[in-house]
Amino acid sequence: MWETTIDGRTLHFHLAGINNQNFIMRDEETGSWWQQVTGEAILGPLKGQRLTRVPQDEISFVLWKREQPMGRVLRPDPRAAAAGRYAPADWETGIAKLPVATRIRDRRLDLRELVVGVTVNGHAKAYRMTDVQQQNPIIDTVGGVPLVIVVAVDGHSVRAFSRMVDGKPVDFFAKPEATVLVDTASGSEWDFTGRAIRGPLTGRQLAKIELLRDYWFDWRAYHPDTTIYSAGLHTAFFVAGYRAILVSSTNARSSFIEAKT
Amino acid sequence: MSRRLLWSLLVIIAALALAVVIVPAWVIQPFRPQSPRGLEVSFALKRLAPFVTIAALLACVALVVKLWRGARWSRVFLVIILLPPAVSAWFARQNHFEWMFNPLANAGYARADAASFVGDGDLVMAVARNGEAVAYPIRQLAYHHLVQDTVGRVPIVVTY
């Protein structure tokens, strides 16, 4: 998502082609070609210019609606819909089967593996979607910035936040039944928007960090120096720790139920 | 100029007109890797094509007129050979990517609570700017690829 005004001129874009499975757009005003994923003009009079990125979110509709009940939603184009041009609900499984045509030969991950990528202070890092889902939340540091990556209950909506609270990094674990993070410093509960909703830090807001859901080959093509997150001890420790809490609380609950019956 | 030379010229110009539009369409096709050099050549050809193909078509018409007299059985061929430059001149003015993925001419919007066309679990690309929030369902974006909008008074292009 990009701002279309550059040097006081508003550009109007058209689909103009494809570059290694990432599309190219052409602006009507100068005819320059722009790479969709980077917002950079790659050819033509504006070559080298960059559009300003607009912070975006890729989340499930139900979550968005809850957060933005007054928002507006793009309607399907009746002609495209009638012609059956729109992707089916399970489009991701279909896309996963499409061939990959790229010169990228970095097989650290499967080329069509779905990743979540973040770039902080020039450092790019990719997280396998399966890791993000299994280890929810991921506690990490990228480009010197401590961050947390969290998945909503729908299993698909992902957000990243800085873990800095009052100038200090905090750790989080997640309550699986809802999308709630708990920080280990104060025990406050934080919702999926990054706001503390219960506990001593209520009302505080974590700073959002931009992320991109992408396929490995595409992320790798535009972030050649990217590192890949590997499930480390830190997260394992938290997962284990939280499981222990869960198990003990479940035990307590079942013994309570036993006592009642 | 000998007739043979004029014939050769005609065939060469017709072939060149065709090449000017076919080369970029071939290089920039989905599911095929593109190199920076390939893109550069395609960009240059695409920019030149509208002029080059018209010039080629005019040259071919002139040659056909010149060869018409004296040609008997080969008049059919003279007509046929005008087709490639004519098609090229037309194609050079088309955006065939927009044939495949129609641009969204008049984007319409619904209120969040009235958007029954989106499934709860469907992913949306969302933006919030200066108090205005908009969601673009991925299933629609994946087809149109880009949508232009003004959100919170800022003109943007949503790309997918």
CATH number at residue A223: 2.102.10.10
For the stretch B113-150, pLDDT in tens is 999 999 999 999 999 999 999 999 999 998 999 999 99
> Does A56 fall in a domain?
no
Tokens standing for residue A20? 């290694």
Q: Which of B124, B37, B29 is nearest to A99 (CA)?
A: B29
- A75 lies in a domain? no
Same domain, yes or no: A120 and A201 = yes
Share of chain A above pLDDT 70, in %: 86
Judgement on whether residues A137 and A228 belong to the same structural domain of the protein: yes
- Identify whether A224 is part of a domain: yes
CB A4 within 8 A of CB B156: yes
Number of H helices, E strands in chain A: 6, 23
Mutation for B interface: A26, A58, A74, most B CBs within 10 A? A74
Determine whether the interchain pair B43/A103 forms a contact, defined as Cβ–Cβ distance below 8 Å.
Answer: no
pLDDT of A41: 95
Of B33, B123, B151, the CB nearest to A20: B33
Calculate the CA dihedral of residues B38, B41, B43, B44 and round it to 10 degrees: 180
Question: A124 and A241: one domain?
Answer: yes
Give the Cα separation of B98 and A148 in Å (integer): 40
The answer to whether B95 contacts A98, with C-beta atoms less than 8 Å apart, is no
Contact check, Cβ <8 Å, A73/B39:
no
- Looking at residue A253, its pLDDT comes to 45
Over residues A97-117, the pLDDT tens digits come to: 777 767 777 888 888 899 999
Confidence of residue A251 (pLDDT cuts 50, 70, 90): very low
Report DSSP state, residue A50. B
Contact across the interface for B157 and A77, Cβ inside 8 Å: no
> How far is Cα A126 from Cα A111, in angstroms, rounded to an integer?
13
The tokens for B98 are 């927009």
At residue B102, the pLDDT reads 85
- CA-based nearest residue in chain A for residue B106: A77
Residue of A nearest to B38 (CA): A19
Residue A88 included in any domain: no
Q: Are A36 and A123 within one domain? A: no
B34·A61 Cβ contact <8 A: no
The gap from C-alpha A253 to its chain's centroid, in whole angstroms, comes to 35
- Reported as a single tens digit per residue, the pLDDT across A154-212 is 888 999 999 999 899 999 988 877 778 999 989 999 999 999 999 999 999 999 999 99
How many CB pairs below 8 A link A and B? Answer: 217
Given pLDDT bands bounded at 50, 70 and 90, which one contains residue A244? low
Residue A123 to residue A120: CA distance in whole angstroms: 5
Chain B residues within 8 A of A51 when measuring between CB atoms: 157
Average pLDDT over residues A57-74: 94
List CB contacts (< 8 A) between B136 and chain A.
73-74
Examine the domain organization and report whether A122 and A232 are in the same domain. Answer: yes
pLDDT value at A260 more than 50: no
CA dist., res. A124 & res. A58, Å (int): 19
| B122, B128, B132, B138 alpha-carbon torsion, rounded to 10° | -30
Average pLDDT over residues A32-46: 94
- Please state, in angstroms and rounded to a whole number, the distance separating the CA atoms of residues A208 and A67: 15
Q: Looking at beta carbons, which residues of chain B come within 8 Å of A215?
A: none
The per-residue pLDDT for B146 is 93
Q: Tally the domains of chain A.
A: 2
Return d(Cα A14, Cα A26) in angstroms, integer.
5
Residue of A nearest to B156 (CA): A3
Q: Could you tell me if A130 and A215 lie in one domain?
A: yes
Contact A55 B127 (CB under 8 A): yes
* A95-A101-A102-A108 Cα dihedral, nearest 10 degrees: 60
The full DSSP string for B69-129 is TT-STTHHHHHHTTHHHHHHHHHTT--HHHHHS---SS--EEEGGG-TTS-TTSEEEEEEE
Regarding whether A138 and A15 lie in a shared domain, the answer is no
Peptide bond into A137 cis (omega under 30): yes
Query: Do residue A2 and residue B157 have CB atoms under 8 angstroms apart?
Result: yes
Mutate to test the interface with A, among B32, B41, B43, B51 (most CBs of A within 10 A): B43
When pLDDT is averaged across residues A8-30 and rounded to a whole number, the result is: 91
Q: HSE, CB side, 13 Å, CA atoms: give it for residue B156.
A: 22
Q: Which of A61, A59, A69 is nearest to A192 (CA)?
A: A59
Instruction: Spell A30-43 as b/e; 16+ CB within 10 A means b.
Output: bebbbbbbbbbbbb
List for chain B the helix, strand, coil content (%; round to 5): 55, 20, 30
Give A243 or B94, the one with higher predicted confidence: B94
- Quote the pLDDT of residue A232: 62
Sign of torsion over alpha carbons A90, A218, A101, B21: positive
Instruction: For residues A119 and A239, state if they share a domain.
Output: yes
Q: Rounded distance, CA A26 to CA A151, Å? A: 35
pLDDT less than 50: residues of chain B = none
Q: Which residues of A touch B137 (CB under 8 A)?
A: 61, 73-74, 76
**Residue A64 is nearest to which of B126, B143, B154, comparing CB atoms?**
B126
A138 and A244 assigned to the same domain: yes
Question: Are A3 and B155 inside 8 Å of each other by CB?
Answer: yes
> A256 lies in a domain?
no
Q: Residue A69: which of B32, B113, B159 has the nearest Cβ?
A: B113
* Domain shared by A244 and A121, yes or no: yes
CB atoms within 10 A of CB B88: 24
Closest listed residue to residue A211, CA positions, set A253, A260, A150, A131? A150
Closest CA of chain A from B81, distance in Å: 29
The dihedral sign for the CA sequence B123, B98, A103, B38: negative
Contacts of B107 in chain A (CB under 8 A): 74-75, 77
> What is the structure's pLDDT at A235?
52
Given a cut of 60, is residue A24 above it in pLDDT? yes
Per the structure, the complete domain to which residue A175 belongs is given by 114-248
**Separation between Cα atoms, residue B72 and residue A76, nearest integer Å:** 57
Which CA distances in Å does A135 have to A11, A183, A207, A239?
42, 16, 21, 7
Output the CA–CA distances (angstroms, integers) from residue A155 to A10, A174, B116, in the order listed.
38, 13, 22
Say if residue A243 is in the same domain as residue A161. Answer: yes
State residue A92's pLDDT score: 73
The reply to whether A106 falls in a domain is no
**Residues A121, A231 within the same domain:** yes
Q: What is the pLDDT at residue A256?
A: 41
CB-closest option in B35, B103, B142 to A14: B103
CB B143 to CB A1 under 8 A?
no
- Token pair of A56 as six digits: 């975006």
Residue A77 lies in a domain: no
Q: Using a CB-CB distance cutoff of 8 angstroms, which residues of chain B are in contact with residue A18? A: 28-30, 34, 97
* Residue at A108 is within a domain: no
Of B47, B136, B157, nearest to A4 by CB-CB distance is B157
